[in-house]
Chain A
Amino acid sequence: DARVTQTPRHKVTEMGQEVTMRCQPILGHNTVFWYRQTMMQGLELLAYFRNRAPLDDSGMPKDRFSAEMPDATLATLKIQPSEPRDSAVYFCASGLVGAGGNEQFFGPGTRLTVL
């Protein structure tokens, strides 16, 4: 049963600390997305990769956020330093461009709370 996994599921940290979120996309998928969801802003696209290359990270605050794909089985989203306004649920999704109408499969999310 292939699915996207994310770790940690929950993270509570203090302002100024570094936070790293990890995602394992579905094997064989060539596109990976990072989203942030809050009650007031809804779902926002932060960045996405195709074949491990970053295609668009315009939704991401560049001064503190960074996204990487060190290999095809791992995507990371790092916040340094974290701020209370970063509190949100962060979703990773993967998909295969050109297959089945480009459906995206979402992970369960990482709920981040920055105090």
Chain B
Amino acid sequence: GEDVEQSLFLSVREGDSSVINCTYTDSSSTYLYWYKQEPGAGLQLLTYIFSNMDMKQDQRLTVLLNKKDKHLSLRIADTQTGDSAIYFCADLTGANNLFFGTGTRLTVIP
């Protein structure tokens, strides 16, 4: 089956940029997603990118997709303490199945 991998932990200082990386294995992916989980809550969709795009920007968020290397990243500019959360990447395969990574716990140090 599809394998989506992320590092479990990331720490950054407030004001710095955060880059959360994700790799996937399915070559027929159609959409790739980033979900955010606030403490004590379920996951919520943050942003997504269609597989024929290589970049998407939304305010402080930049999603980069390298389809050749099957690598997805989420960059958060000017990271704030309120950005501390767990970030999940997810891959929608050609068979319409959505696979999540394990999540990256982002800790922002004041």
Contacts and interface: CB of A to CB of B under 8 A. Distances in A.
B45 to A, nearest CB: 5
Interface residues of B, number: 23
Size range of the chain A interface in the assembly: 20 to 34
A91 B88 CA distance: 14
Contacts, number: 51
A37 B102 CA distance: 8
Given A43-B88, A107-B42, A109-B42, A102 B98 contact: yes
Given A35-B100, A43-B103, A106 B42 contact: yes
B100 A97 contact: no
B65 to A, nearest CB: 14
B101 A42 contact: yes
B94 to A, nearest CB: 12
Interface string A38-54: 00111111000000000
A107 to B, nearest CB: 6
25 contacts: A35-B100, A40-B8, A42-B6, A42-B8, A42-B101, A42-B102, A42-B103, A43-B43, A43-B103, A44-B102, A45-B99, A45-B100, A58-B1, A91-B43, A97-B96, A98-B96, A101-B30, A101-B31, A101-B48, A102-B31, A103-B45, A107-B42, A108-B42, A109-B41, A109-B42
Given A104-B43, A106-B44, 12 more contacts: A40-B8, A41-B102, A43-B100, A43-B103, A44-B102, A45-B100, A58-B1, A97-B96, A98-B96, A101-B50, A102-B98, A106-B42
